[in-house]
Structure 1
């Protein structure tokens, strides 16, 4: 089984928020996922400016906070905070204008935002949004680990775990997997799915191949895998069925053709993106 290692890279977004990014726009290599951003800092200069009002079209986002918090506001009048252990889902559909601003002025901020590609048939649907509270995201114990499933279904050591979000593009699954020392967990990658494992803390081996902090493994072949860690580790586990559709990307817009991107830009400039 081929395991591809993808190195994340430092970047910035919003009003200068420092992030670590893995993206797959160029070759649509993470399909149905588009991008994963991680914020990890206890310096408010790295995150305090937040993400002021900005548009999106054609994607869904899933924000998961391990420490700290952000508040979402959008053009539909929605307002809600997501804090430690919670998640937030947004479907931009044909258009949304929203902001994501920190709920704290200092202290540790650690979280992730995942972009998922909407299929062509859903890119122009109405926008939607919701918070997923801590009570909906329990930790499930395993023999040598614990898992929190945010969306879809994950099977580990022949146990199936379900998350509250069950209709993500590509039947995607998203989970936080924390490994204890000397952990050894079995996961199967079914045929027709892409499996991604991003290590945010510590070091893991995947079928004996080592991944260090801020590296992502990509597996597209079906088969069984062993996830192990000698000293414990934290990781995000992502799985989804590729949409296999063309991707045109410009900033906050992701469509299928350049003409659709040009239309999105015109709609935003003319104030009709969300109509």
Structure 2
């Protein structure tokens, strides 16, 4: 059986492209869960310098296959099984969030539940103008459990996150950009090229410095401003031992700004 997710490097080995292709609606089921775990493991072990998450089909995802993922657990009222399953989802979101290189998510259409939570675990979200988003778990008596609620709150504030999750509504990309949930909004026909170019540019850049940026911001989110400030000198100072920094400094002195090339080391 063809995997519902594929990871490709193509002509640019620095950039891994993760494509969700599980027709007709890219619903989250056991097969997709297994494939996503394998894809994230491949990113962790392959160590590209950037990753683009995208989807094939009319929608990014119509949500979760409730019959496959949740119905057996709910019929048995199995709290332990539900807790174990959600623990796997939380850890999966954390693994994406902790990847030590830039990650970009491209949303071309309807992006519900797990797919939006995956997008929120990425560093940047690029959306087509016709895209829309929703965390609609409340319609079946659940709450998002891949870390989406808290990551959305970090982007837009707790009030809007509660409104978004509790109403289980669907919100357009324009509104989501205005809230700060979407980082870049582009015309429908430009999404793929824009997202790929952004991801490629980030992957070709000073990825050790990008990793440091992610570590500082992760420290801020976990431990607050004072701790992030206390750790910034240590995190940023290590960059002076990298070949990328030394090469970029030499390039700046010899040729001016913006001429350096980076190897991610």
TM over 0.5: no
Give the TM-score normalised by the residue count of structure 2. Answer: 0.27
Structure with greater helix share of residues: 2
Structure with greater strand share of residues: 1
Give the TM-score normalised by the residue count of structure 1. Answer: 0.26
Rg larger in structure: 2
